[in-house]
Structure formats: structure tokens, C-alpha cells
Amino acid sequence: MDLVEVNPPLVVWMGLPLVRLAGVTGWSEVALYRGMVWAVVGVSLLLSARMLGLVLDRDDGRRRAGLLLVAVFLLAAMPGPFFGQREHLALALVLPWLFGWAARIGGLEIPTRDAMAAGVLAAVGVALKPHYVFAALAIGGYVCARRWRTGRRMVPELAVMAGLLVCYAAAVMIAAPEYLPLIARLKAVYWDYVRRPIGTILGGTLSPLTVVASLLLWPVSRYLTRYRALADVLGIATLGFLGAVVLQHKGFGYHYYPSLGTGLLLLLLGTMGGANAGWAPWPISGRAVTALVALPCLTLFLLTAIGRAQGSAAKGPVKAGSREIGAFLRGHRPTGAVVIFSPWMEDSFPLVLESDVSWGSRYPFMWFMPALHRTELTAGDSRISCRRPASQPAVERALVGTVAEDLGRYHPELVFVRRPDNADLLRVNLLACFSRHSTFRREFAAYRQRVQLGHFIVFERIQRQD
């Protein structure tokens, strides 16, 4: 099956062996993917522990245990709904590399095997999310400048990381030559998808506010700890990861995850003190301020993770819709493919995989329709008028044309269509806009409405494939 994916191919390539293994063994693709994520987290924590053993003094077991405990919390307990997202994986993969750099700045030698492993993991983390290359360059430049001043030689982890990223770029050119033309064609549309102003990205929710607060308190944390190289590395990483969020112009909750993780580690480093511990007012007040910023955020995410595990996460139209489709698929067990016309990924995946049904479209969700109507959405129109084909941009005609082609190619048995609403992206009536196209009307004529299902209308194919 074709797949239209604006993210770099690595995230897809990583899933292919798991899908093949699931096909051979009959195991769940979702369970296998979660197992892979837990393996990544485990390797990251083991290597992070080894790197922290070099960065911190041998007799400083309290700080080592504290930093590792927060690392476990960040990678294992805190992710909640973000578990397995590229941002979660990237933080896990890059974290040992960050701790290793702090050791390098202090003039410490890292075992070659550990250094190479950290470089490999970091390369995969950056390849999953290329925006993070700017954070990697900033940290690498800072470390190299510090080492060159002291006349120390270069280290292997940076060379390994750079070499693997070059090889990955070459692999994309060879194995996925369609990717770059696809990005060139869709970049303007994706740029308009849920694009938010920088002010909203930096201060719209608790996550960015916590990240910004950790950066403002960076000098305080640096003053309060004797591990200033580690504070600098975490501060630069936090700034670089937050810059990546700004570059994307989306500000989705999971986008902040790496910057939130390194920011919380930075705050913890300051809260634990070390360099100027005592009863002087400045160290005491500085530690109190960093604790006031760090602890409520840690508590909030812990409660979120517990609530999700207990199934008591906040209810909303997306979660309600997922429950409705999940219950319907469990009760009817379609033998053919399904497709879901929705502007939200959460309506489709991982629900489709967990329901053990096949997918009948090259698009995981219809993100491009709200992007194509961003001007009207931004203006606050209650309902969006669908454009006539003659007035549509070429990219819109092409995208809807491929949706119609998929109906004719994969013959999905069921089509779930999100009902239009006055809220958020649902002001775009997907079915009405698709139906402007003659090819879509012809293909969709094979479907009849079966039932109204809460937030969805369910259509069933009545003309079977020859």
C-alpha cells in the first residue's frame, strides 16, 4: 500500500520489521511497538546511568540517584498519551549523549564502546525528528569550543553521529526517492495545518511555560550546582528543543516533550544544590524557586499518567469518537478494510491497529482539508464553504483525487465520517468538500449510509469488488 507521510521515512522503516513479525507470529503490532519502545527506554537508562557515573563525583550517590529517578519518570511514567511518539523516543535516545558531553567538557574520558553507543542512539533520535539537529549542532559546537581551548582531541560520538546522519540522508534519497518531491508539493499545505502564533506556542499551556521558566532559571541552577558543565548542556538542549517547537509552528502537546524533560532535569540539578549549599539567603531562595517550578509540573504529569492508566483521562470529542468507533468495530468485525474521514489522527490510530482491521487509504487522517481552509478557519467562520473545483488550488484537487482513487483501489468496507461541528477543525465538512469532485462522487456512489454513530456517520460499501 502507498503511504503519504510528511515525516521522514525512518519512523515508517522502524515499524516495518514489527509489522512483518506480527504477520508471522500473530502477535499484536501495537504490543510489539510498545515492546520496542520499552527496549529503547531500558537501553537509554542503562547508558545514562553509566554516563552519570562519570559526570558526577564518585561519592555523590544522592544526586546520581535523584537524576536517574527523574530520568525514569520522564521516560517511563510521565509520557502518558505521548508514549512512543517520536519526541518521546528522541528524548530517550539523546539523553545518554547529553550526559556524555557533560563528562567530556570536564576532561573525562568515556569508554569507546559507551561513546559509540551514545553517538548511534543520538543519531537515530535526531533522524527521527530532524528539527533537533539544531540542538545537536549547538551542543556539539559548545563542547568542541570548550575542548579546543584546552587542546583536547575530538571525540568519536560526534563523528559517529554525523556519519550515520549522512548515511541516513543517502538512504532516503535511494530507498524513498518520492519523499523529497512529496515534501516539496505538500510543504505549504502542511505549514498551514494548525499553525499557531509564536506567542501561543511559548505561553499557551503549562508545558511551554515550564520550559521557559526552566530557561529563565538556568543561571540560578548553574550557580547552585558544582556540575556547571551538566547544567550548561541541559540548558542548551532545552533551548534547542524549544526552538524546534517554534520552527514547527504547531505547538502540539507532545512537541514540548524533549524540552520539558531536559528543562526539568536542569531544575532538579539546581534544586539539589551542591556548590553553594548552606544557609545564605541566595542559595536557599534559588533552590526554593526552582523547586516551586519543578515539583508542581512533575506532580501534574504523574497524575496525568495515573489517570490514563486508570482510564480516567479527560473526556472530549476525540476520545468519545474513538470509543464509539472502537465499540462499533468490536461489535461488527468487518472483514474488509475501513477508512475514517477525520481531521484528527486520534480517530484513526492506534485504534485501527488495536481493533485488528485493515486500513483502506494512503492517508492516516485527513489533515490537509483544514490546512487548505486555514484562512476561513482563522477568520472564525462557523461553517466553511467548500470551493468549486474550478476555484480550487491544484494541490487540493490532487489530494482529494487520491482519496477517491483509494476508494476505488482498496474498496474499504466501511467509511466513518466525522460529523461537522462549530468547534475547531470540524467546521470543515469533509464529505461535502470531497463530494465537489466528480471522481469522488463516482467512487462514493458505491456506499450507502448504514448508521449514525455519535460523532460519526457510518457508510457501508454495497458494490463489492469484482
Cα dist. 118→97, 101, 126, 159, 434 in Å?
A: 5, 10, 12, 11, 48
Which of residues 271 and 9 earns the better pLDDT score?
9
Specify whether the CB–CB gap between 135 and 244 falls below 8 A: yes
**Phi/psi at 4 (5° precision):** -100, 110
* Percent of residues, the chain, with pLDDT higher than 70: 85
Residue 229 vs residue 318, higher pLDDT: 229
- On whether the CB atoms of residues 238 and 215 are closer than 8 A, the answer is yes
Q: Would you state the pLDDT for residue 297?
A: 62
Q: What is the mean pLDDT of the chain?
A: 83
Of the candidates 136, 143, 62, the residue with the CA atom closest to the CA atom of residue 110:
143
The residues spanned by each domain of the chain are 10-309, 317-461
Q: CA dist 401 to 106, 398, 406, 436, Å?
A: 58, 5, 9, 11
Question: Does residue 416 have a pLDDT over 80?
Answer: yes
Lowest mean pLDDT among 145-149, 202-206, 221-225, 444-448: 145-149
pLDDT number for residue 319: 64
Q: How far apart are the C-alpha atoms of 358 and 168, rounded to whole Å?
A: 30
Nearest to 261 by CA among 119, 75, 55: 75
- C-alpha distances in Å from residue 70, one per residue of 25, 65, 76, 287: 36, 9, 10, 17
Q: Is 448 exposed, middle or buried (0-12, 13-18, 19+ CB in 10 A)?
A: exposed
β partners of residue 415: 339, 459
pLDDT tens-place string over residues 58-92: 878 888 888 888 888 888 876 666 788 899 999 99
What pLDDT score was predicted for residue 290?
62
pLDDT in tens, 252-299: 888 998 998 999 899 888 877 665 444 444 455 555 656 656 666 666
Cα–Cα distance for residue pair 443/58, rounded to 1 Å: 69
Reply yes or no on whether the pLDDT at 129 is more than 70.
yes
Q: Is 193 a residue whose pLDDT tops 70?
A: yes
CA 215, distance to chain mean position in Å, is 22
Bridge partners of 460, per DSSP, are 414, 448
- Tens digit of each residue's pLDDT (9 = 90 or more) over 325-344: 888 888 888 888 999 999 88
Which pLDDT value is given to residue 314?
43
Q: What percent of the chain has pLDDT over 90?
A: 28
